[in-house]
Amino acid sequence: MMRDSRYDVLFEPVRIGPVTAPNRFYQVPHASGMTNALPRVRAAFREAKAEGGWGVVCTGACSTDPSSDDAPLPMATMWDDNDIRAHALMTDAVHKHGSLAGVELWHGGAAVMNRASRLPPLSPSGIPWMATHIGFMGNLRPKVMDKSDIRDVLKWQAEAARKARSAGFDIVYVYAGMGYLGYEFLLPQYNHRTDEYGGSIANRVRFVRELIEVTKDAVGEHCGVALRVSLEELRGRPGQNQPSEAHELIELLADCPDLFDVKMDSSPTDCSASRFSGEGSHEPVIEFVKSLTKKPVVGVGRFTSPDTMVSQIRRGVLDFIGGARPSIADPFLPAKIREGRMEEIRECIGCNICISSWHDGVPVRCTQNPTAGEEWRRGWHPERVVPAAKKERVLIVGGGPAGLECALTLGRAGHEVTLAHAGRSFGGRLTFEKTLPGLSAWNRVAEYRLGRLNEMSNVSMYLESTLGVDEIIDLAPDHVVVATGARWTNMLYSTLEIPVGTLEHANVFTPDDIAAGRLPEGPVLVFDFDNYYMGGVLTEHLAAQGIDVSYVTPAGQASAWTIMTNELPLVHKALAKRNVPVTTLHMVTAFDGEIATLTHLFNGEQTRVSCRSVLIVGMRTPRNELHEALLARSGDLTAAGIRSVERIGDVLAPGAITHAVHSGHKLARELGTLDMHKPYRRDTPFVDAVPDFAPRVAAE
């Protein structure tokens, strides 16, 4: 297939100082949760993107010195020779496909707590990050940097840049964004200095300029030197001779770096969930940069549409189409545009499960791309599936995210697949959830898979087909995969922080009731101990229909787990906008149709609240009846030639959509192979030779 010539501009080479990117697709630095302890996992993860056509592929933040230590959050390091060897695996892998490799050298300043190194964090003026969420809190405040500290950070940057070059990197970053050290010098909120590094914008920019200069001196002849800078706050500060201090900063540094990588200031605005913002959301803040510098500019905005990308270039907003999430969801996005395979693009849904992985301290997971992070340890390629040695007939029951992904991957392996689904359209839980406020993009999980499945002659799909054991025996496939999902329960919550007992009343609802079109009579009290998006989004959904609704949770915040997906501040804003009262640290313990009793989680104090209905968003249990019925008839199944019955997705273990997709993919990759239930391949860090380990007990 040929691509449309209007996308040709995306495939032009662009110079970055002494190096040239082969095209305009630029995977900006982003967290992968893969530290130098997982060098092969990381190299394969980044390689997939180079293979998929990203002209530049970068690491995540890479610490220049132990005084920049974000533990237990995963971070890369550029401290010693072992680090150089670990990174070299990645640069070799990226170069194999003709792409450039970039490294985001980073000093965290006061935004890291140095929990592992125990060194005092560094800052321009001793202003600490006072995080309100337990996972990010720390209690070691930063020291004020003196001149020798400034010299040290510059020296570490230069040394790390030289190491980066030895590791094979083509682009080396200076980082001045997202609350980290360079950024702290730029903003007067952090920088109260009265020396030449504080005061006027020209003085506040000095430290960043010096970081760029030492990097250029160290490697500038061979590597492109990039500045990554957050502009949101500075854009809001009026300048002396320019509309804002962000303008003044770019003007002052216009000739300094070889590339500007521009972004927002905080994770929730920089990596905003699709629930609250659309494609290209950074443009109003960064659109001016190109007018003040001749150097190339890269920016992000969850770009998945080639037309939007072309428009960013044509309108002079960006030179490079930056991607973090779109490159995770589809490492082959550039290749698909290049080859005119637009309908095959696996579009990021903006759910931010990827960022939650970093907050969880684990390798990146993605809802749309179950192979993310699994390239090396399970050998999963994002586009290719090993053809099945033996083609078998597989029946999948249930067409939600798990069933659809399983059907797609089995179909790609060449099996003869039948997918039977009870509902009138495929998608399972998404059929309802896509209609909730802000969640329409999530339906891309179903749309992408249906689009591909519809092209496959070896996959048959049936709607409105509720299968029981007899029908399955009649069909007599080789394998049955049960993907029947889960249901919400009316269970309550106890001070042990576990679901316990149930709340029985005609006016007690679960999300399944709302999905089935039963609307509760107001005032409604939503009781949420699921803590992810569902409680908050259903509250918004009811309020949007004019129903009087209030929200109660035993957690400290509404939709508490959404701190992991950057949504939490915006959930609170959305509830406040709809005047929804939020009560935290309380459990619902009783309801008689008129009054709900709330009990304080810690002190047991009770409060009575008038309401007509209670909506419990709590525990989910597997929809397991079919699976149990199949097991009860195992003799009949064997007689019919059915060799295995497996479960995937929510019926196996209820979870987020990402888990269901991964579960469906995993089963499809492993069905009929010896890999079933095998552990994944374990990566090992590069370390200096250690004395041989002597077994304490001789092997038998």
Looking at the Cβ atoms of 231 and 661, the one nearer to ligand ADP is 661
Quick one: which of 281, 368, 490, 562 contacts ligand SF4 (CB under 6 A)?
A: 368
Catalytic one among 180, 190, 493, 533?
180
Quick one: which of 268, 398, 535, 554 contacts ligand ADP (CB under 6 A)?
A: 398
Rounded to whole angstroms, the Cα distance separating 223 from 173 reads: 10
Residues contacting 407, CB < 8 A, separation 6+? 396, 399, 417, 419, 449, 453, 459, 461, 664, 668
Rounded to whole angstroms, the Cα distance separating 245 from 239 reads: 5
Rounded to whole angstroms, the Cα distance separating 122 from 109 reads: 5
DSSP state of 688: -
Looking at the Cβ atoms of 259 and 441, the one nearer to ligand SF4 is 441
Quick one: which of 27, 36, 484, 566 contacts ligand ADP (CB under 6 A)?
A: 484
Binding piece for ligand ADP, criterion CB under 6 A, among 33-41, 116-124, 152-160, 646-654: 646-654
- Residue 50 backbone zone (phi > 0: left; psi -120 to 50: alpha; other: beta): alpha
Amino acid at position 173, single letter: Y
CA 554 remoteness from chain centre: 26
Site for ligand ADP in 653-672 (CB under 6 A): 660
Residue 485 lies near ligand ADP (rule: CB under 6 A):
yes
Residue 421 lies near ligand ADP (rule: CB under 6 A):
yes
Binding piece for ligand ADP, criterion CB under 6 A, among 156-164, 260-268, 574-582, 644-652: 644-652
Q: What's the number of CA atoms in the CB half-sphere (13 Å) around residue 81?
A: 3
Rounded to whole angstroms, the Cα distance separating 164 from 166 reads: 5
Looking at the Cβ atoms of 284 and 468, the one nearer to ligand ADP is 468
Q: CB of residue 333 vs ligand SF4: minimum separation in angstroms?
A: 11
Q: CB of residue 360 vs ligand ADP: minimum separation in angstroms?
A: 20
Of 246, 270, 240, 208, which is closest to residue 28 (Cα–Cα)? 270
Rounded to whole angstroms, the Cα distance separating 554 from 531 reads: 9
Residue 329 lies near ligand SF4 (rule: CB under 6 A):
yes
Q: CB of residue 626 vs ligand SF4: minimum separation in angstroms?
A: 29
Looking at the Cβ atoms of 85 and 623, the one nearer to ligand ADP is 623
Residue 351 lies near ligand SF4 (rule: CB under 6 A):
yes
Q: CB of residue 343 vs ligand SF4: minimum separation in angstroms?
A: 18
Strand duo 491-493 + 122-123: pairing: unpaired
Residue 513 lies near ligand ADP (rule: CB under 6 A):
no
Looking at the Cβ atoms of 266 and 443, the one nearer to ligand ADP is 443
Residue 220 lies near ligand ADP (rule: CB under 6 A):
no
Rounded to whole angstroms, the Cα distance separating 691 from 41 reads: 26
From the list ligand SF4, ligand ADP, none, pick the one residue 353 interacts with, judged by a Cβ distance below 5 to 8 Å according to partner type. Answer: ligand SF4
Residue 352 lies near ligand SF4 (rule: CB under 6 A):
yes
Quick one: which of 38, 90, 397, 582 contacts ligand ADP (CB under 6 A)?
A: 397
From the list ligand SF4, ligand ADP, none, pick the one residue 366 interacts with, judged by a Cβ distance below 5 to 8 Å according to partner type. Answer: ligand SF4
Quick one: which of 425, 466, 606, 673 contacts ligand ADP (CB under 6 A)?
A: 466
Looking at the Cβ atoms of 164 and 397, the one nearer to ligand ADP is 397
Q: CB of residue 154 vs ligand ADP: minimum separation in angstroms?
A: 51
Tokens of 220: 């500038």
Rounded to whole angstroms, the Cα distance separating 392 from 405 reads: 17
Residue 420 lies near ligand ADP (rule: CB under 6 A):
yes
Strand partners, 16: 19
Binding piece for ligand ADP, criterion CB under 6 A, among 1-9, 358-366, 477-485, 665-673: 477-485
From the list ligand ADP, ligand SF4, none, pick the one residue 429 interacts with, judged by a Cβ distance below 5 to 8 Å according to partner type. Answer: ligand ADP
Binding piece for ligand SF4, criterion CB under 6 A, among 35-43, 351-359, 446-454, 645-653: 351-359
Quick one: which of 127, 252, 349, 615 contacts ligand SF4 (CB under 6 A)?
A: 349
The alpha helices in 68-223, defined as continuous H runs, are 81-95, 147-166, 181-186, 201-219
Q: CB of residue 324 vs ligand SF4: minimum separation in angstroms?
A: 8
CA distances 132 to 136, 556, 569, 593, Å, are 8, 11, 11, 37
Quick one: which of 353, 413, 582, 626 contacts ligand SF4 (CB under 6 A)?
A: 353
Strand partners, 571: none
Rounded to whole angstroms, the Cα distance separating 306 from 681 reads: 36
Count of residues of this chain found to bind ligand ADP when the rule CB under 6 A is applied: 23
Verify whether residue 173 is a known catalytic residue.
no
From the list ligand SF4, ligand ADP, none, pick the one residue 211 interacts with, judged by a Cβ distance below 5 to 8 Å according to partner type. Answer: none
Angle between helices 245-253 and 201-219 (to 10 degrees): 30
Residue 366 lies near ligand SF4 (rule: CB under 6 A):
yes
DSSP codes, 300-363: -S----HHHHHHHHHTTS-SEEEESHHHHH-TTHHHHHHTT-GGG--------HHHHHHHHTSS
Rounded to whole angstroms, the Cα distance separating 533 from 49 reads: 30
Tokens of 420: 């039977």
Torsion of CA 319, 325, 329, 332, to 10 degrees: 20
Residues contacting 454, CB < 8 A, separation 6+? 461
Residue 515 lies near ligand ADP (rule: CB under 6 A):
no
**Catalytic residue IDs:** 180
Task: Give the binding site for ligand SF4 (CB under 6 A).
Answer: 325, 328-329, 348-354, 366-368
Residues that bind ligand ADP (CB under 6 A): 397-398, 400-403, 420-423, 428-429, 466-467, 483-485, 623, 626, 649-651, 660
